[in-house]
Chain A
């Protein structure tokens, strides 16, 4: 296996570092990587909580250096390269089995900030599709990601991890209830028009908020979303005025600088006659200026803050997580079995080739001096072929079937050693056609 995964997530990197790695379009990057010498296939996942590159490579060491260099120089969006120390502690690298396991845990939302959240699977699928469209995803990563999606489906069906769907929007609502007695007379302002905002809209509508407003850079997208959820659509320039009329604010929009500034929130709070303002900022880079959190009456949670909140959620779901981990491990072994089976194909082919070669040589040698007709020759050919097939049937079947297990690779190596498949010229040597000894004759 030559699988390599390198990345950073909410578990290893603070938001200040992660927000510099927000990759909007991974296609040009993976195209560039796969155009180079060391990387055969590549998928780049970039979400609010993680940036991860998965590559299939013939030279893992060179590929690792290449990815490290990409994190140091190419992927940081603001041109200000992160320090080596910060990157060293933030980046993790997984090889082969560990990489498969990590990817499966991510797809199943076991490693997610909010355990069991449904969004991450969609984001992994998007990253995979982008790579496929860019021509950077081949059969190996293709198979890996299909297996990851199947694993996520199994986890969802066989555990209760998603029985009560938990999302950032859900956590936002639960936190809002810590501030407000009821949400029915409250107004929400959602900034952005992406998938997260759509999910939040759905959740907030279910909570029965009095009014929901959507503000977006492109008013047409806000209008389309607002229409579906009986909300009103606005432009970003209306946000300062909307803040005074909003109790819950949820932001998830792209952009280099914060959309919501401290001065606007301070003015809004003054106009709210003491009512608190609760803001959830899931944008990367952040959409709400950090100074807003210091204002009295404003309660602001960014992604890192939500992580601490979500940990209590993870504790409650410990049993489901254990089941999900077991499924992910089972599927990891299945995938490795498939990879092992791929490795067995050349061995089996060589084994059959060796046997066929010996058979041909011995037939030629045995029939060389005699006067045999076509019928006899065909009969000998047919009988020897059947004998060879019968002899090889059991070991070949066993090699194929046991590759799913832990001893599969050991058996494969044993077969190569026993049949001297790695020794040059061994297949047709005289040793291979060793004459049976007297004992054999006697028996």
Chain B
């Protein structure tokens, strides 16, 4: 039931992504609104699906990658919907909905009940680590999405020929603000996730730094984010660089946290 619901949620997110794409490219407000509404419905279904996962016996652990990815998608989607109450950024749905779809789809096809049973007794640190890292990844995903849209919109406005006076993409100022806030919040969460990960490793192995690609690549992503945040606040006139950095850093982070784990 929980996995089926994930599949349905993924489909609804996909519909939201298509509606948003039609709304932005064909300049149809109704379609964009429908995309946001579909994302809201998807978030609701996703919440139910997450709840249903907790009703499974044994309950899947947060350290299970599909569950963690699903959690990331859910946090990112809900976080975005909450953000809409504060900023005029409905156009961001064109970037958020596909990310939500990819995360949920990956989770729905990757759940493995046998692996859930094997990992049923994880310590508290590991849960905290996954929770914080997932939240950080979701928020940094939002920063990356805002950064990517900033670059696209900036290019549209600079090239002029493609600039429409009533484009549904959020304004550059809005995208920069979302990028800026999400970058700081995401960096804090990612840092906490890193610290809890170290504590988890120490509790399990007695060592401070675990060997392996996941830890090394995540550390690299953290360094990149630290640089972006530092540059962002030391030299505030680099909105476009920050947008490009947030987009690139998120790609590194996804490869570090999800890509390598999924492959290895």
A interface footprint on B28-64 (CB within 8 Å = 1, 0 otherwise): 0000000000000000000000000000000000000
Q: Smallest Cβ distance from A113 to chain B, in angstroms? A: 13
Identify which of residues 215-248 in chain B touch chain A, using a CB-to-CB cut-off of 8 Å. Answer: 236-240
A181 touches B239 (CB 8 A): no
Jot down 9 A-B pairs with beta carbons below 8 A, ordered by A.
A178-B165, A179-B173, A272-B237, A274-B176, A297-B237, A305-B160, A308-B161, A309-B160, A309-B164
Query: Would you call B171 and A179 a contact (CB within 8 A)?
Result: yes
Q: Indicate which residue in A274, A276, A305 contacts B236 across the interface (CB closer than 8 Å).
A: A274
Binding site for B on A (CB under 8 A): 171, 174-175, 177-181, 269-270, 272-274, 276, 293, 296-297, 299, 301, 305, 308-309, 312-313
Q: Does B65 contact A (CB under 8 A)?
A: no
Q: Per-residue 0/1 for B153-167: is the Cβ within 8 Å of any A Cβ (1 yes, 0 no)? A: 100011011011111
- A181 and B174 within 8 A (CB): yes
Q: A299-B157, A305-B160 are in contact. Are A178 and B167 (CB under 8 A)?
A: yes
B88: Cβ under 8 A from any A Cβ: yes
Binding site secondary structure of chain A: helix
B237 in contact with A274 (CB, 8 Å)? yes
Consensus secondary structure, chain B interface: loop
How many angstroms between the C-alpha atoms of A270 and B236 in the bound complex? 10
B172 within 8 A of A: yes
The 9 lowest CB-CB distance pairs between A and B, nearest first, are A174-B165, A274-B237, A305-B160, A181-B173, A274-B236, A181-B174, A273-B236, A308-B161, A180-B173
Interface size class of B (residues with CB under 8 A): 20 to 34
* Beta-carbon contact of A312 and B164 below 8 Å: yes
Per the bound structure, the CA–CA distance linking A68 and B239 in Å amounts to: 51
* Shortest Cβ distance from residue B52 to the other chain A in the assembled complex, whole angstroms: 39
User: Of B87, B153, B157, which one neighbours A181 at CB under 8 angstroms?
Assistant: B87
Chain A residue nearest to B173 in the complex (CB)? A181
> What is the minimal beta-carbon distance from B86 to any residue of chain A, in angstroms?
11
Question: In the complex, which residues of chain B have a beta carbon less than 8 angstroms from the beta carbon of A313?
Answer: 165
Q: Interface residues, chain B, CB within 8 Å of chain A?
A: 27, 87-88, 153, 157-158, 160-161, 163-167, 169-174, 176-177, 236-240
Q: Is the CB of A276 within 8 A of B172?
A: yes
Residues of B contacting A181 with CB < 8 Å? Answer: 87-88, 170-171, 173-174, 177
Q: A181-B174, A297-B239 are in contact. Are A174 and B166 (CB under 8 A)?
A: yes
Residue numbers in A under 8 Å from B177 (CB-CB): 181
C-alpha gap A250/B258 in the complex (Å): 49
Determine the chain B residues whose CB is within 8 A of the CB of A180 once the complex forms: 171-173
A175 touches B240 (CB 8 A): no
Q: Which residues of B contact A171 (CB under 8 A)?
A: 165
Determine which of B87, B165, B173 lies in contact with A312 in the assembled complex, contact meaning CB atoms within 8 Å. B165
Hey, which chain A residues are within 8 Å of B172, CB to CB? 178-180, 276
Tell me, in angstroms, the Cα distance from A259 to B33 when the chains sit together. Answer: 43
CB contacts (< 8 Å) of B160 on chain A: these are 301, 305, 308-309
> Are A175 and B165 in contact, CB atoms less than 8 angstroms apart?
yes
Closest to B89 in A: A181
Return chain B residues, CB-CB under 8 Å to A175: 157, 163, 165
- Chain A neighbourhood of B161, CB < 8 A: 305, 308
